[in-house]
Structure 1
Amino acid sequence: MRKVAVVTPGSFVIPSVRSSSVERVIEQVVPLARHELDIRIYGTIGKGLPLKSELHGVPCIRLPSGSYLQSLVRNLKMWGPDVIEVNNRPLAVQKLKAKMPGVKVVLNLHSNTFIRPPYLRQIQLQTALEQADGLIVNSRYLKEFVESGFRGERPQILINPLGVKLEDFSPRHTPASEAIRAARLERLGLLGKKIILFVGRLMPEKGVHHLIAAMPDILAEHPDTHLLVIGSAGYSSDRETAYVKKLKSAARPLKSWITFLSYIPFPSLALWYTMADLVVVPSSTREAFGLVNVEAMAAAVPVVAARSGGIPEVIEEGVSGFLVPPESLPEGLVQPITRLLGDEELRCRLGTAGRESCRQQFRWDLTAQRWADFMQHI
């Protein structure tokens, strides 16, 4: 079988309950392709984890974070892969091509965060892409973003949407889910409330401040509503940034209607989607895909999201949710949210359609098959 080395960014240990979505995607996708490819995952050393182990049947090699790239090259030369996949670190493409010129190197971009200032200048991105043998992105939006500033011969590009494992999510409107939901809400003192859920990092780009700003108008129509905000500023800690403090200050007059919960790791997070009547994703134009969207859909919960980035490729307007022009935030959130809160049949219909969309389009096994095919033929 073709030998493929999957290189994580080196920011977080893998596996981890507190890592970025990059590591989570690797954990979900790569093991599903192990019967078609000879794969090894390379990451950083983590407390309590051995230097070598297996991740769902795939060898995982952990290297010192302080000398990550040097140790990586040494290990790769000993193994001799046919393809190296670099995740979210364009500058590493050039370095690996220089050290291992006969090996195919593929860049997998999960967002546009690290391909723009202050992380990367346009000329640096172009040089990295010229060196890459292939490029993987998770949305048409991200592909177009990369191509918009690129001059020269483009590498082969795969658009590979992300997914979910449907078995991890209980559909919202079933007797079993309703019973679990009622019990959990009673423990929180929220039984009988309509629940709006926000899940994500507490950073300006995720737009939770827009949702908090819209809450007074939402409560004017539906005073029995409660907003649950799940997340923290970073993956590795719950330290409060200036932005988080500002959010909590803005929410203080509505403290009876807004609850902040710290980072909840997956798969425990799946249970919280079942508690929601709707999920709101008011992200900025930089959102390349947004796993929260498909996770909500997998739980058969309708989504109200900003019409930005790659989100319109996931949420179908009026079918699995509603899309709000980003320039209309926060006011634009009020009408679709209040409409959904007042119409249980509509919530059920959109939620059911969203889960079916996941079944047809957004599953990890589909993502893995596209990835494996690309690695086979690059």
Structure 2
Amino acid sequence: MNVLIIAPWQNPVPPIVGSSVENCIYQIAKKLAQKHSVTILSRKTKHYPSRSQEGNMTIIRVSASGATGYVRAALNHVKGRHFDMIQIDNRPSYAPAVRAFFPHARISVFLHSLTFVSSPMTSRGKASRDLSHANLIVGNSRSLQSNLRSMFPKLAARVRYVHLGANLKQFQPPSAGQRAAVRRKYGVSERFAIVFAGRLIPRKGIPVLIKAAKIAKKSVPAVKLVIAGGTEKASYKRHLKQLAEKHGVSTRFLGYVSRSRMHEVYRMGDCMVCPSQKHEAFGLVIVESMACGVPTIGSKIGGIPEIIRNGENGLLVSDYRNPQAFAHAIVKVYKNKTLARKLSRQGRHDAVNKFGWGATASRLEAIYRKNG
């Protein structure tokens, strides 16, 4: 197949900082390019050349000051070429322009969440009209697929899903020496380290986790909460710091951690907690944590239960708005070493067998071949 992937205009591929969507594009494209020709249209940046080649994957980076100009300029770079599938990542609003430029092409919109098909980003009506230009709509979980089918019933037959993955070479269990070294580096050597990774925004549930850590301290005196992630609102980070101080929870805020160092964050943890309070389409941090062999705890919401099998490869919290419920799961991991080892081993096993980027690319390839 000859595949074209159109990335959002805000960040380059691969991303310089953060930007999980652009990281997903890059990782999936690398796997697809092992058997197919893949072209990525992305934003131009001083950090990368205008055009780069990695085997069968070509990345063309385009200068533009806004989404409309970016799409127009990007499409001009591939004018006259034929593609078996054109994939638009996470920006349904690009679909009308792509359809006008390639009237007979097979077009897929790959959605990573409900953000860009919902208010305030767009209206339900406009999202439906934009998506109607696509032959396929791909979500990153069965949960997202189900939500999309309910929101856009006329387009339900076009919606599929593929689970995302982890870089299994980067995210893998550490040796005893590596774990000791990374725990010294982050100052948690003598602590029971609870790790959170993600954006510092209300829907991620960090206040619930802070309160849970306070409760867990009664049974786990040496609790240390480590929070990795950036925020666009310094006031919210200050609020979280004040909350941790108020509840007497020893907390270290790492701020933004580069993707190249994220495996260190997971590896230092005695457990990783994902206390999402609103729909989580997938939960990339969960599969990365599991790949590192870290006992992982997550809210029973959205796509998270598609990754975590309660008591087998992690722990699910049904009453996820209740700090006591998360505290119970944390204490369970602390006290039951046999369970912790089981979750660690099975988590790694499932990450390798179900949630590698190779598996993501293979399923996406199958969908595109069947619907080509």
Deviations 1:308-367, CA, capped at 9 Å, x for gaps? 111000000111111112554222111111111122221111111111111221111111
Q: Check if 1:219 corresponds to 2:217.
A: yes
Quick check: 1:54 aligned with 2:53? yes
With structure 2 as the length reference, what TM-score do the two structures score? 0.94
Query: Which amino acid counterpart does residue 136 of structure 2 have in structure 1?
Result: G
Range that drifts further, 184-193 or 56-65: 184-193
Match of residue 358 from structure 1: 351
Q: What's the secondary structure of 2:173's corresponding residue? A: coil
Structure 2: gaps (5+ residues): none
Report the counterpart of residue 93 of structure 2 in structure 1: 91
Q: Taking structure 1 as reference, are residues 354 and 48 closer, same or farther at Cα in structure 2, changes over 3 Å only?
A: closer
The match for 1:124 is 126
Q: Does 1:81 align with 2:80?
A: no
Kept after mapping to 2: 8 A contact 1:27/1:55: no
The gaps in structure 1 that reach 5 residues or longer are 235-239
Structure 1 residues 96 and 187: alpha-carbon distance in aligned structure 2, compared to 1, 3 A threshold: closer
Q: Which residue of 2 aligns with 1:319?
A: 312
Contact 1:225 1:257 in 2 (8 A): yes
Aligned residues: 368
SS of the aligned residue for 1:170 comes to coil
* Partner amino acid, structure 2, of 1:41: I
Query: Do 1:161 and 1:362's aligned partners in 2 also have CA atoms closer than 8 Å?
Result: yes
Match in the other structure for 2:30: 31
Residue number in structure 2 paired with 1:112: 114
Deviation at 1:284, TM superposition (A): 2.3
Q: Describe the shift of the 1:247–1:56 C-alpha distance in structure 2 as closer, same or farther (beyond 3 A).
A: farther
CA contact (8 A) 2:204 2:274 kept: yes
**Which residue is 1:307 aligned to?**
300
User: 1:54 Cα shift?
Assistant: 2.0
- Aligned partner letter, 2:211: A
Give the match's secondary structure for 1:24. Answer: helix
Structure 2 CA distance for aligned equivalents of residues 68 and 156 of structure 1 = 27
The Cα shift of 1:255 comes to: 6.5
Could you tell me whether the CA contact under 8 Å between 2:7 and 2:40 is conserved in 1? yes
Aligned-pair CA distance for 1:253: 3.9
2:360 counterpart of 1:367: yes
Residue 151 of structure 1: how far off its partner (Å): 3.1
Contact 1:129 1:154 in 2 (8 A): no
Counterpart Cα distance in 2 of 1:35 and 1:280: 34
Question: Which secondary structure state, in structure 1, belongs to the residue aligned with residue 218 of structure 2?
Answer: helix
Identity of aligned residues (%): 29
Q: Contact conserved, 1:202 with 1:208, CA < 8 A, in 2?
A: yes
2:284 corresponds in structure 1 to 291
Q: Distance in 1 between matches of 2:271 and 2:119?
A: 35
Do structure 1's residue 189 and structure 2's residue 187 form an aligned pair? yes
For residues 284 and 47 of structure 1, the distance between their equivalents in structure 2, rounded to whole angstroms, comes to 37
Deviations 1:186-243 (A, max 9, x none): 3443322111100011011111111012221111111111111011115xxxxx4322
Counterpart of 2:271 (choices 262, 266, 278) is 278
Residue 63, structure 1, aligned to residue 62, structure 2:
yes
- Tell me: CA distance 1:182–1:253, structure 2 relative to 1, closer, same or farther (3 Å): farther
TM-score where L is the length of structure 1: 0.92
- For 1:339, the equivalent position in structure 2 comes to 332
The residue aligned with 1:15 is 14
